[in-house]
Structure 1
Amino acid sequence: MWLNECKAGIDLSLKRMNEFKKEWKQNFKAIHVGGTNGKGSVSHFIAGAISKKYKVGLYTSPHLQRVNERIKINGEEIKDDELESYRWLCKYNFTYFEALTAMALKYFEERSVDYAVIEVGMGGRYDATNIVEPEITIITNVAIEHTQWLGDSVEKIAREKAGVIKGAPVITACKGKALEIIKRIAKEKGSEIYVEGKHFKWSRYHNGFLIESNEKYFIKPKMNALYQGSNIAMAVKALELLDMEKDVIIEGIESVTIPARMERIGRFIIDGAHNPAAIKALVMAMEEMKIEPIVIFGAMKDKDVKKMIEFLLPMAKKLIVTKARNDRAMEPEKISEFHPSIVAKNVEEAIEIAEKMDGDIAIVGSLYLAGEARSFIKSKNFD
């Protein structure tokens, strides 16, 4: 696979993408989705609804099992031979993520999609996706993450994420200082801004969500974790701005499923929550459902693992720590220094240990961990 020949690591610069832009023509309406948590869910909800009426591309990251998952048109993944046909992009000396982004944009152009929902990789201002000209920009929320690249405060990170604002309407669920910064930059760029709690609202209603925006929507999604309420509300507001009909919005959002978003497979609950804010939201969702699981946890070295474990402990019957097969993964022995835990050398061993215990088993801390666990569980028919 030619993608593996690309430069490894992160290089926050738009130099190479701007060179690529000279031979790429944006012939579709783009919805650009940034923020710390919920980007993937919001992107899937919007694309799911648009696909009921139009041809829509969807670009998300990272993938769980196959790189093809990142690039889809109306739910269908890019094929292996199509991936291979973009080898010519090597001439730009791209990083891995830049190459994937350029390929997605070129693929959507060549397949003449009507819309493309583009998820930011990291940050915003210098992210490879930031060469698109959006119809709508979404900044889901801002939390401390990727501090070595984005800054060590909410304010600094908010400024980086607000770098995707270009004059198109902005939708956000940000609060506090992050919201102040996003409002200021939106005003500077001439963007109208729609804020959760003011311009649209959500609440738990029966076994779904009540969304109040231009209209009222009762949505009963397949992905029904409490933390999806805000994501669905932002998607609804975006779809309203795109003039989608109410029944299309409801049907589209209710049809969406995404692996590793509080996904249940038998006794297992798999979630890609990978920073303290996401873990906190997951714990609240588990508490609402009265789930007290055995927790299998693994995370990347650059995460605030101490805080993630602090949030997990009150709900965890037992804590098993492990690592994904990823160079960035923290060693389980290091994780166990934050709290006494059962140490497993890999995901398979962690699952086999948990399987001998009674109760639900939650696998959290990293999308890489979630992907490996999901593959192993399905291969062993634990479900």
Structure 2
Amino acid sequence: MVRMLKAFGNPHQNLKAIHIAGTNGKGSVAAFAAKIFQKAGYRVGLYTSPHLSDFSERIRIQGEPISYDEVINLTRLIRTKQYEVEKEDGTKGDPTSVTCMTFFEFTTLLAFFYFLKRKVDLAVVEVGMGGRLDATNVLNPLVSVITNISKEHQQYLGKTLVEIAGEKAGIIKKNGVLLTAITQPQIFAKIRSQCQQMGSIVYRLGKHFSVQGKNGGTFDYQGLFTSYKKLEINALGKYQTHNAALAIGVTEILKNQGYQLTENAIREGLLKMKWPGRMEIVNQNPKILLDGAHNLAAIEKLTRELKKTFSNRKLFLVMGIMKDKSIKPILKRIVALGHHIIFTQPKTDRAASPFFLLKASRFLNDRGEVVEDVKQAVQKALSLANKDDLICVTGSLYTIGEARELFFSKVEI
């Protein structure tokens, strides 16, 4: 990818970017930040992954997904240049050539070109995985964010949290600014050390800026340079106030760099942000909750929210999990809460067998069954639940994407 960028004259260097990494919450932070800057009058590109239903969701400007025509045209542009470079380098047909790109690298390149072509004022860019070796890490952003760090993708990022932190710290740039919500002292020490080496400033949620929750989605923000009372978000989960705080922190940093942001833009941006598939209510009577929790830390947050907010409802779980996740610890955290569990399998080779999930959960909860098709699994849950019950679909964004198609034709942000 670096070779291809060089062949195009390194156009990514012209992008004014906000770069966001972390195990969980980075998509929500990106969506909050993008919406705030939109409300402030800026033209904003948003690059996130994975998509829920359609590839075009990954690449947006002003909330609108890229068109198929644009995808085709930019793909042709990139492929034409790729052939030229391969011919020039004498590497045509060589699968080890530096011009060969993964799907994510190609998509990232396409997103950058689209944002530049459409002259965005800001590009809000979510890291795909890790940080140091991620395709998005070619950017030199205005500000970087590391939301939090827990164990995930250990085969690629390292077995310990410190090793994983080292990979994510790879997004820290020389003389840059980093915002983080990391709580573990040892992990924060690793991040702070990297910042010191790079001559960068780090601001930590809970120390340099903070939130105080009120009722529901209302909270106060005590910031780096200013504070706001009674901010509101339309997102379930206390952790979403932390994600919102990181986004507000981003606005404070960029305001110091000359960007114009009013309090009204911040308030309206927070309130209007939608991030589908994350603690999303899609049906009433019975209430259906979609949450893309796909690792242990996210499942723990979901479990806490279920106990806190929905403890008076009988819970029907619909779960589809990827086979490369910590399946048994995930099941141990949540399945005991379920009155009935339906295990399912989204349409991806990465998905774990629902029969394996059922077998693995037997010693935790024997009220389970398998319905392999995700949509049919949700419909089965609907047939079992009463109007005052709760159906929670979770385990993977792939599972959520398929389930969500029962209720919506497209994803809006």
Q: Could you report, residue by residue, the CA deviation over 1:114-138 in whole angstroms, capped at 9, with x for unpaired residues?
A: 1110000000000000011111000
> For residue 357 of structure 1, what is the amino acid of its counterpart?
L
Q: Give the Cα separation in 1 of the matches to 2:206 and 2:169.
A: 20
Q: Give the Cα separation in 1 of the matches to 2:57 and 2:33.
A: 17
Q: Which residue is 2:310 aligned to?
A: 290
1:56 and 2:44 matched: yes
Q: Which residue is 1:256 aligned to?
A: 273
Q: Give the Cα separation in 1 of the matches to 2:288 and 2:23.
A: 25
1:172 and 2:219 matched: no
Q: Give the Cα separation in 2 of the matches to 1:133 and 1:343.
A: 47
- For residue 403 of structure 2, give the secondary structure of its aligned residue in structure 1: helix
Q: Give the Cα separation in 2 of the matches to 1:323 and 1:39.
A: 25
How much has 1:377 moved relative to structure 2?
4.0
User: Which TM-score applies when normalising by structure 2?
Assistant: 0.85
How much has 1:20 moved relative to structure 2?
5.7
Q: Which residue is 2:66 aligned to?
A: 78
Equivalent position to 2:290, from 264, 270, 274: 270
Change beyond 3 A, Cα 1:127–1:216: same
1:181 and 2:214 matched: no
1:309 and 2:331 matched: yes
- For residue 342 of structure 1, give the secondary structure of its aligned residue in structure 2: strand
> For residue 173 of structure 1, what is the amino acid of its counterpart?
A
Q: Could you report, residue by residue, the CA deviation over 1:305-337 in whole angstroms, capped at 9, with x for unpaired residues?
A: 111111112432222111100000011111122
1:197 and 2:206 matched: yes
Which residues of 2 match residues 93-112 of structure 1 at below 5 A? 93-112=100-119
Range with greater deviation from structure 2 (192-201 or 278-287): 278-287
Q: Give the Cα separation in 2 of the matches to 1:45 and 1:350.
A: 32
CA contact (8 A) 2:157 2:163 kept: yes
Q: Give the fraction of aligned pairs with identical amino acids, expressed as a percent.
A: 38
- For residue 216 of structure 1, give the secondary structure of its aligned residue in structure 2: strand
CA contact (8 A) 1:16 1:94 kept: no
Q: Which residue is 1:322 aligned to?
A: 344
Q: Give the Cα separation in 2 of the matches to 1:308 and 1:54.
A: 40
Q: Give the Cα separation in 1 of the matches to 2:369 and 2:196.
A: 51
Q: Give the Cα separation in 2 of the matches to 1:102 and 1:36.
A: 23
Q: Which residue is 2:231 aligned to?
A: 219
Q: Could you report, residue by residue, the CA deviation over 1:38-91 in whole angstroms, capped at 9, with x for unpaired residues?
A: 000000000000011211111000000111111111111111101111123232
Q: Give the Cα separation in 2 of the matches to 1:47 and 1:338.
A: 40
Which residues of 2 match residues 351-366 of structure 1 at below 5 A? 351-358=378-385, 359-366=389-396
CA contact (8 A) 1:324 1:368 kept: yes
Superposition misfits of 4+ residues, deviation over 4 angstroms? 14-21
> For residue 251 of structure 1, what is the amino acid of its counterpart?
E
- For residue 118 of structure 1, give the secondary structure of its aligned residue in structure 2: strand
Q: Give the Cα separation in 2 of the matches to 1:62 and 1:216.
A: 33
Q: Give the Cα separation in 1 of the matches to 2:335 and 2:369.
A: 13
Equivalent position to 1:119, from 99, 113, 126: 126
Q: Which residue is 1:281 aligned to?
A: 301
Q: Which residue is 1:7 aligned to?
A: none
Change beyond 3 A, Cα 1:127–1:21: farther
Q: Give the Cα separation in 2 of the matches to 1:21 and 1:218.
A: 47
How much has 1:23 moved relative to structure 2?
4.1
Change beyond 3 A, Cα 1:110–1:184: same
Q: Which residue is 1:6 aligned to?
A: none
CA contact (8 A) 1:17 1:98 kept: no
User: Which TM-score applies when normalising by structure 1?
Assistant: 0.92
Q: Which runs of 5+ in 1 are unaligned?
A: 1-13
> For residue 89 of structure 1, what is the amino acid of its counterpart?
I
CA contact (8 A) 1:294 1:362 kept: yes
Q: Give the Cα separation in 2 of the matches to 1:302 and 1:20.
A: 36
Q: Give the Cα separation in 1 of the matches to 2:15 and 2:100.
A: 26
Q: Which runs of 5+ in 2 are unaligned?
A: 83-98, 256-260, 363-367
Q: Give the Cα separation in 2 of the matches to 1:49 and 1:286.
A: 29
Change beyond 3 A, Cα 1:57–1:183: same
> For residue 353 of structure 1, what is the amino acid of its counterpart?
K
Q: Give the Cα separation in 1 of the matches to 2:3 and 2:131.
A: 16
CA contact (8 A) 2:320 2:399 kept: yes
Q: Give the Cα separation in 1 of the matches to 2:164 and 2:274.
A: 29
Equivalent position to 2:321, from 299, 312, 323: 299
Q: Give the Cα separation in 2 of the matches to 1:120 and 1:193.
A: 18
CA contact (8 A) 1:17 1:131 kept: no
Equivalent position to 1:350, from 347, 369, 377: 377
Q: Could you report, residue by residue, the CA deviation over 1:147-173 in whole angstroms, capped at 9, with x for unpaired residues?
A: 111111101100000000003110001
> For residue 322 of structure 2, what is the amino acid of its counterpart?
M
CA contact (8 A) 1:26 1:109 kept: no
Q: Which residue is 2:28 aligned to?
A: 41
User: Aligned pairs, how many?
Assistant: 366
User: Superposition RMSD on alpha carbons, in Å?
Assistant: 1.6
1:372 and 2:399 matched: no
Range with greater deviation from structure 2 (135-144 or 84-93): 84-93
Q: Give the Cα separation in 2 of the matches to 1:319 and 1:100.
A: 36
Q: Which residue is 1:9 aligned to?
A: none
Change beyond 3 A, Cα 1:95–1:132: same
How much has 1:366 moved relative to structure 2?
0.4
Change beyond 3 A, Cα 1:216–1:314: farther
1:163 and 2:173 matched: no
Q: Which residue is 1:209 aligned to?
A: 219
> For residue 82 of structure 1, what is the amino acid of its counterpart?
E
Q: Could you report, residue by residue, the CA deviation over 1:339-366 in whole angstroms, capped at 9, with x for unpaired residues?
A: 1231121212311221122221100010
